[in-house]
Amino acid sequence: MEQYKKEFIEFMVRSNVLTFGDFVTKSGRRTPFFINTGNYSTGEQLNKLGQFYAEALNRRLGTSFDVLFGPAYKGIPLAVTTSVALCSHFSHNVSFCFNRKEAKDHGEGGTIVGCKLKENLKVVIIEDVTTAGTSVRESIPLLQATATVRVKGLVVSVDRMEKGTGEKSALCELKDEFGIDAFSIVTLDEIVSYLYKREIDGMIVLDESVYARIEEYRAKYGAKC
């Protein structure tokens, strides 16, 4: 596993974003692990987070995209901090934009804030975690209604590797449905293999008991792709 992925996993644990216990997801599934990116709350954390996203994007897509789109609300700071990191660390000066939840009825109006989308711009959607892919399915028509852009990819922080609306994972479903490159900084497999019985700041967060519950969860909800 690449070093930046190991560092990202530890970063999520230390930021209290990746936790283990007993949770219920928005879809109603009872899960032994939870990823709450709303717990990132400092400038230092956002600075590091942007660097991890930028690293994953650079490795996967290089400089083959022009714009980052962050769906409101959690995607907004992700698009901003990642665009800064891409410029600072990879000399890739990408634009960014995001949507309003409600269309502006004065001034220029519209729902897109930031980069003025133009024909043939290559856009990457940036998200925290996607389970069912709902926001992406809403974002792509919104972007294409604004201009004839090419939605090139989707990047998320963690691939939970569980079923979306069918037997495939949400990322695989979106990849097949829209023909985009959908990927994550890390996958659940990578998280489990790295954290199992490993001490983080003197504490083991993924012990045998948690491991067994994750395996049970994945037997029930794990995706084939």
Helix (H) or strand (E) holding 97: strand 95-104
Q: Which amino acid is at 116?
A: K
36: Cβ–Cβ under 8 A, 6 or more apart, which residues?
16, 17, 19
Catalytic residue, chosen from 89, 104, 116, 118, is 104
Task: Give exposure, 102-134, as e/b (b: 16+ Cβ within 10 Å).
Answer: eeeeeeeeeebebbebeeebebbbbbbbbbbbe
Q: Is it true that the peptide bond before 73 is cis, omega within 30 degrees of 0?
A: yes
Is 104 annotated in the active site? yes
Catalytic residue, chosen from 6, 89, 101, 106, is 106
Is 92 annotated in the active site? no
The residues annotated as belonging to the active site are 104, 106
